[in-house]
Amino acid sequence: MSKFCENCGAEINDDVTVCPNCNTAVGAEKVVTETANTASTSTDKKADTKKLAIIGGGIAAAVILIITLIVSLVSGRYKAPIKKYFKGLNKCDAESYVAAYPDFLKKSDSVKDSTLKDRKKNLEKTYGDNVKYQYKILKKTKIEKKDLEKVQDYVNDKYKEKVKITKGFKVKTKQTIKGKDDYDYATDDVYVYKIDGKWYVLDIEPDDVK
């Protein structure tokens, strides 16, 4: 049976390895084509691998960012009651102010919007109109477990409440009162505790508890 040269199309015998018409090796073009296809496939695989590496790196970076944000939010929850406290003072909003403290202090019985407005008016006599409270957290110090237990026992005894205090911080703050005419500032320690799973301001210093 005869076959044809893949280069020039001349008819050649089956046992011929070189085309007598164009001197092209029989099957050479096919080999070249297969080699080219193999090289192309290899390049595609490398490109796909690179894409996967980029995608994988992007996903890993996103996961790290999410974890960082979660940790930041969780670790910063102790700030929430301090923020509510100053929001209540600035807006004369008793609801926000009271929410900074645990229920057993019964702040809602004595603090109303009118109470905060009167307080602000008194300050305006000294500092001028538009009095604002500002604060900056300078440092936080973890309260040790034995001191948390002291505060917990004190609360349970004094307020007849069975509460669980699991965390606490002594927060050093710079607090500023500023009006149209004058201002004043001072550093003050604010004590915050995680009571029954929620953070509150609680003005109890462990060293003062007997």
Domain ranges of the chain: 2-58, 78-208
Helices (H) and strands (E) in the chain, counts: 5, 6
Q: How many CB atoms neighbour CB 190 within 10 A?
A: 21
Q: Tokens 């505060």 map to which residue?
A: 151
Coil, strand or helix: which one is 43?
Answer: helix
Q: Does domain 78-208 have CATH number 3.10.450?
A: yes
Token digits of residue 193: 């505790």
Query: What average pLDDT does the chain have?
Result: 83
C-alpha to C-alpha distance for 200 and 163, rounded to whole angstroms: 13
Question: What does the pLDDT read at residue 67?
Answer: 45
In this prediction, residue 88 carries a pLDDT of 97
Note the pTM of the prediction, 2 decimals.
0.65
88 touches 94 (CB < 8 A): yes
- Regions of the chain short of the pLDDT cut 50: 28-36, 67-74
- Three-class SS state of 148: helix
Question: According to the model, what pLDDT value does residue 35 have?
Answer: 47
